[in-house]
Structure 1
Amino acid sequence: MRQILLKAAVLAIGSAAASFLIVITIVPAIGGVVEGNAVLMTLVCPLVIAFPASAYTLWQKQKLADAFGQLAAAHEQLADAHMELAEAHEKLAEKARHDDMTRLLNRESFFAALKNSRRRTDTGVLLIIDADNFKYINDTHGHQQGDAALLLIADAIRAGVRDADLVGRIGGEEFAVFLGGTTAEEAMLVAERVRLGVEAIPFSPGEGKFLPLSVSIGAARLRPHLSWSQLMREADRRLYEAKRQGRNRVVFENGSQKAA
């Protein structure tokens, strides 16, 4: 406020000086005489009028500048809030798409991605992977050790497939992998790599004991005019066949590949 009053005073003095110069220049030129009262009015009137007018104008200008500053700050805060909200929404959406424990795609997200993948390819192989004898681990060593075993199996599956392949947890101890654009031979190699990866896990539930882990895998090849539900049923049938044959094996359309 002090700066406003000082600026208003300077403007008022300038107005008075300008008024005085105009009067002493023009009045004599038209034959008039500049006397004491006229000089006084020439100086006082601009001071009385210009000072409050200038002070009010400068004050309003300052208020407007402050308001614009506050508005700019509010816009900046709003932009930051929008960015934080977008990041939070993205993280929430990402979390909603993934299984809380394994961080693989959950069932809904896996099948949604599976449907979208058909727009890019009409070839590929679906693997349904189920942990063998998992109930025994939960019943004998507890669900905490069962969860630890599931995490190890999920890591082995993730390590056995390609980065572009779809991997999801579609049930308690059941996983699914879609190998887009692969041949039956390539898919069999991937499935066997996953099976061997799980078989090699050194899983210890505690007390210095080690339990073997294994998975059974059913595979089905995507073909023209074959729906996803039909593909799932075909892979499921082969998974049950792998279980029936003794577990720890891959069953595909050309037979099964057993554990070593």
Structure 2
Amino acid sequence: MRIAVAGATGNIGSLTVATLERAGHEVVRVSRSHGVDLSTGDGLDAALAGVDAVVDAVNVPSADRAETVRLFAAMTANLLAAEARAGVRHHVLLSIVGIADIEGNVHYAGKREQERLVAASPVPWTIVPATQFHDFAEMVAGWAERDGVATIAPLLVQPIAPQDVADVLAEVAVGEPQGRYPDVAGPETQDLVDMARRTHLARGRDVRLVPTWSGVFGPEMAGNALLPGERVRIAPTTFDEWLAKSV
């Protein structure tokens, strides 16, 4: 199959490209570095010529709420319009578990707009909601770290390995559209603070972690808010297995 991956140079996008190519598929990389600007649509028609399916793993930096939603909406709308013109038969969107019930997060607002546009599009679709990735804790701590001290929310998560996410996206892309896919999660629940501590320890870094709800992630994300629902597909890689390989 000829499959395009939007966000092909990002974390999940690059892994999905490699997974598809290992399986023998022809992959079209959709990113600015490959001559395609999703925010304007420039280069999209040429990139999607003859494409059977598109995997959307695009991400945007979180600014204010309005700008984040605008960016997600513009890129998704341009992508879907070009897919319709090209006769693409399957749009696969990577989304996030639990975003429907969390209003305060700017990034989640953008992802909800993506989901809305995809569901309203004439292009047949599958939305794949995934839990946080195994490297999420280190990333969140890094956002707030100052002079060896980092604040971090004590979130309960069920993290998943990025490669496992890419494997699911590649599998879904070559199949038939399924609408909303089951939540995709790792095999174990974890505390985000403990994940960050263990990651820093494995990296040989000394960072003092201060649990707090006063940052980006507020109390509405406490408890089971970020955990998968009853319809769930459990990926195999544990956090410890991922961490051992990543160092």
TM bucket normalised to smaller: under 0.3
Indicate the structure whose relative CO is greater, using CA pairs within 8 Å and at least 6 residues apart: 2
Structure richer in helix, relative to its length: 1
> TM-score when scaled to structure 2?
0.24
Please give the TM-score of this superposition, normalised by the length of structure 1.
Answer: 0.23
Higher strand share: 2
Q: Report which of the two structures shows the higher radius of gyration computed on alpha carbons.
A: 1
